[in-house]
Structure 1
Amino acid sequence: MPLPNQALVLVLDGRKMLFFRNHGDANQIDLRTEAHDERADAKDSEMKTDGPGTTAQSGGYGRPAMDETDFHQQAEDEWVKEAADELKKRVLQNDFDALAIVAPPKALGVLRKSLHKEVERRIVATINKEMSGRPIPDIEALITSETAAAELSAV
């Protein structure tokens, strides 16, 4: 489905959250930045206080270490959940009728689990790609090609 006029576009990864509004129409996308936010990535020493834990073995020598928690991934997941909360707030204010989401696979999976039902209903395109560091014309070209391909496959 082509991206309609005034559709909201979210470009997201574990560190950046960019909101764009389509000021063009279904034939010519014209994205303009509406809001952006970036989180600072904390150092390991700021996130951890101890080393990994260990468990006792029933046989053999040594004490194997338990898998260490990935604090960076936890921080990224929380950031993506904040984006879902922002979308919920916007949809309940009736800020958009159509939504396109561009995010890498891991962020997209976390986001999908956190979306409000009304936000899910308004999604017109989901693109599984890292684009948060790319210029706006690249994002517009990606959305145009993906929505055109989806429209062709629907026929």
Structure 2
Amino acid sequence: MARLKNDTLVVVADSEKALFLRNLTDHANPNLEVTDEDEQDNPSDREQSANRPGRMQDTGVQQRSAMEDTDWHELAKERFAKDLSDKLYKEVHSGGFERLVIVASPDVLGVLRDEMHKEVLDKLVMDIPKTLTNHPVEDIEKIVKKEMDAA
């Protein structure tokens, strides 16, 4: 069974925000303190697109089809998860944590799993596929403890 030990780093993330919390106590009575926060300004795709989608000639007479445009909003979300992975890599190399718990939306968790370096994965105690970035810290403490107890 995974335990939430003293000084465990708990990262709570979605595709636009990440909270870095440190457990100040033990598993029986977790006390998470926010030590850092990252947030990405990611406007909607419509606001980021420069032009309307391009058009191309179709095989029929006087027919044209729209070309699929790049989804800048989705690209920024994926880039945020990759940047988070890089930040965790730098943290582990500076001795920033010995144990890590990640609580992230399923999409972000998938990108993180693909992008995380071996050194970070070696410190990973548990990952929890939930979106909790807008929850109060007290609720995050209860949910993380409950998920770890169930594992």
TM over 0.5: yes
Moved more, 22-31 or 44-53: 44-53
Q: Cα deviation per residue 1:40-93 (whole Å; 9 max; x = unaligned)?
A: 232545521122123433347622223232111111111111111110000011
Q: Cα deviation per residue 1:86-137 (whole Å; 9 max; x = unaligned)?
A: 1000001121111000111111111112111110111111110110000011
Q: Cα deviation per residue 1:20-50 (whole Å; 9 max; x = unaligned)?
A: 0011112221100110122223254552112
In the other structure, the counterpart of 1:23 is: 24
Q: Determine if contact 2:15/2:81 at 8 Å carries over to the other structure.
A: yes
Instruction: Let me know the Cα RMSD of the aligned residues.
Output: 1.7
In structure 2, distance between residues paired with 1:46 and 1:59: 33
Moved more, 54-63 or 97-106: 54-63
| Aligned-partner residue type, residue 99 of structure 1 | L
In the other structure, the counterpart of 1:35 is: 36
SS in 1 for 2:64: coil
In structure 1, distance between residues paired with 2:147 and 2:59: 54
TM-score, normalised with respect to structure 2? 0.90
In the other structure, the counterpart of 1:13 is: 14
Moved more, 16-25 or 61-70: 61-70
SS in 2 for 1:77: helix
| Aligned-partner residue type, residue 116 of structure 1 | H
In the other structure, the counterpart of 2:63 is: 62
In the other structure, the counterpart of 2:81 is: 80
Q: Higher strand share goes to which structure?
A: 2
The percent identity for this pair of structures is 38
Moved >4 Å (runs of 4+): 43-46
In structure 2, distance between residues paired with 1:72 and 1:39: 11
